[in-house]
Amino acid sequence: MTGTIRASGAKNAALPALAASLLASEPVELTRVPAVRDIRTMRHLLDHLGVRSEERGEALVLHPDGEPADGEAPYELVKTMRASVLSLGPLLARRGHARVSLPGGCSIGVRPIDQHLAGLAALGADVRLEGGYVEATGRLVGGRFRFEMPTVTGTENVLMAAVLADGVSVLENCAREPEVADLARLLVRMGARIEGVGGETLTVEGVSELGGARHEIIPDRIEGGTYLVGAALTGGDVILEGAEPADLAPLLEKLADAGARVEPGERRVRVRAGGGLISQDVETSPHPGFPTDLQAQFMALMTQARGVATLSETVFENRFQHVPELVRLGAAIEVKGHVAQVHGPTPLSGSPVMATDLRASACLVLAALAAEGESVVHRIYHLDRGYEDMEGKLQHLGASVERVSGPEPG
């Protein structure tokens, strides 16, 4: 893989930004929104909830001026995407009630929403679970809430509720991911009063109404990181334009330690092959730790590194589903509980493999590029949830990859 590509906007920042339009009294204009399936799903949900969206040039304009179909986020619209739960906080804050189906998404773990519900209850909401739905009602008032553990969507949901609550809210032990900070900056542009953006504690002074805003979505550190891992894995040289090196720091440090040549710059990062890969241990953790969403891709890299790499997954309990498929390609990996040991380097050979979730899909594509012979990755509908034109970008970097039609197995 050799060449220059531009980072897409971050799916995980665009989704809460779309949900924030439920709070607005005027249009919200977003730029750099990635063209991925999860965004289309969220737009369908918002349309159902009374927010019309239109593409205007390179911008997506959200008009919160429609009449909601019935004021609820039904299972049929949210079953494939966990981020649909982000409609809960804004609906409750703006309309005084919300009925949202429990979310779906990738099968990588339980991912409960108990902290979302506890946070809303701390702001005065009456919250209950009934028939697979969350039902929340009440007028929100400022309060203090401490998350038991940092949760990205939980922080975003409670934050969006707090901006329209009466009085001051203090949210502690918040997730510090760049996507959370990006949402907070959008809300401030819309008229919210938030202090501590980017930190563990957010202080929110509620306002009576939010207006519109124009906002550019931050670059996708997970998508960009995937291509940078691919550069190191294939012995290539990739320049990622429009990236934020600081957000990629945990990965870039590991790539450098593994022997890749890493050159961060102003809104760009270059990664190229060095003198051979050396195994590196990784433990996933909330930001600013190593992101769980890059664990699978880094594991693919470690199959070609010298030594034994220990990868510990501390965020999700079921995020090694890609391991059997990597083994089918020739990898030597042992899993015990939440720890995987990768013995390398091992030659990889082309084989049919099956994706089980979004990031596993990317991992298998990268491993297939490093394998001898042809591989077929099935169930790439997972990939389409979070990667914009992946085959096009890989082709631009010189990879031999194509999308083929045909029935998906199982």
For residue 306, what pLDDT band results from cuts at 50, 70 and 90? very high
Q: DSSP assignment of 195-229, as one string?
A: E-TTSS-EEEE--S-B--EEEEPPB-HHHHHHHHH
Task: Please give the Cα distance from 151 to 165 (Å, whole number).
Answer: 21
Q: Say whether 3 sits in a helix, a strand or coil.
A: strand
Instruction: Supply the CATH classification number for the domain 276-396.
Output: 3.65.10.10
Task: Please give the Cα distance from 17 to 124 (Å, whole number).
Answer: 24
* Integer angstrom CA distances of residue 98 from 87, 115, 192, 403: 8, 17, 21, 40
Residue 119 tokens read as 């946070």
Ramachandran angles phi, psi of 72, nearest 5°: -135, 155
Residues 187, 205 contacting (CB under 8 angstroms): no
**What secondary structure letter does DSSP report for 145?**
E
pLDDT at 105 over 50: no
Question: Residue 347: how many CB atoms within 10 A of its CB?
Answer: 12
Whole-number pLDDT of residue 107: 40
Q: DSSP assignment of 75-96, as one string?
A: HHHHTT-GGGGGGHHHHHHHHS
Residues 38, 11 contacting (CB under 8 angstroms): yes
Whole-number pLDDT of residue 23: 96
Q: For domain 10-216, say whether CATH 3.40.630.10 is its number.
A: no
Domain boundaries, the chain: 10-216, 276-396
Instruction: Please confirm, yes or no, whether 363 is among the known catalytic residues.
Output: no
pLDDT in tens, 44-87: 999 999 999 999 988 999 999 866 656 688 888 777 777 889 99
Whole-number pLDDT of residue 69: 59
pLDDT in tens, 319-332: 788 999 999 999 99
Per DSSP, the chain holds a count of helices (H) and strands (E) of 13, 22
Residues 215, 325 contacting (CB under 8 angstroms): no
What contacts 136, CB < 8 A, 6 or more positions away? 88, 92, 97, 98, 99, 117, 120, 125, 126, 127, 128
Would strands 307-312 and 339-344 be described as parallel, antiparallel, or unpaired?
A: antiparallel
Residue 261 tokens read as 């040549």
Residues 46, 22 contacting (CB under 8 angstroms): yes
Q: Which residue has the higher pLDDT, 108 or 102?
A: 102
On average, the pLDDT of the chain sits at 92
Residue 358 tokens read as 């979004």
What contacts 101, CB < 8 A, 6 or more positions away? 72, 73, 74, 75, 77, 78, 79, 84, 132, 133, 134
Residue 405 tokens read as 């039609």
Whole-number pLDDT of residue 275: 83
Residues 233, 272 contacting (CB under 8 angstroms): no
Task: Please give the Cα distance from 210 to 182 (Å, whole number).
Answer: 17
- Assess whether the region 10-216 and the region 276-396 belong to the same CATH fold: yes
Whole-number pLDDT of residue 382: 82
CA angle 131, 135, 141 (to 5 degrees): 160
Q: What is the dihedral angle through the alpha carbons of 278, 321, 326, 397, rounded to the nearest 10 degrees?
A: -80
Whole-number pLDDT of residue 77: 79
Whole-number pLDDT of residue 404: 86
Task: Please give the Cα distance from 324 to 256 (Å, whole number).
Answer: 28
pLDDT in tens, 118-135: 999 999 999 998 888 889
Q: Tell me which residue has tokens 């501590």.
A: 196
Task: Please give the Cα distance from 367 to 353 (Å, whole number).
Answer: 10
For residue 405, what pLDDT band results from cuts at 50, 70 and 90? low
55, exposed or middle or buried, with CB in 10 Å at 0-12, 13-18, 19+?
exposed
pLDDT in tens, 153-211: 999 999 999 999 999 999 999 999 999 999 999 999 999 999 999 999 999 999 999 99
pLDDT in tens, 389-402: 999 999 999 999 99
Whole-number pLDDT of residue 410: 40
Whole-number pLDDT of residue 72: 82
Q: Tell me which residue has tokens 């050799």.
A: 2
Task: Spot the catalytic one: 17, 30, 88, 106.
Answer: 106
406, exposed or middle or buried, with CB in 10 Å at 0-12, 13-18, 19+?
exposed
* Integer angstrom CA distances of residue 55 from 61, 218, 385: 6, 18, 19
For residue 317, what pLDDT band results from cuts at 50, 70 and 90? low
pLDDT in tens, 213-267: 999 999 999 999 999 999 999 999 999 999 999 999 999 999 999 999 999 999 9
Whole-number pLDDT of residue 68: 64
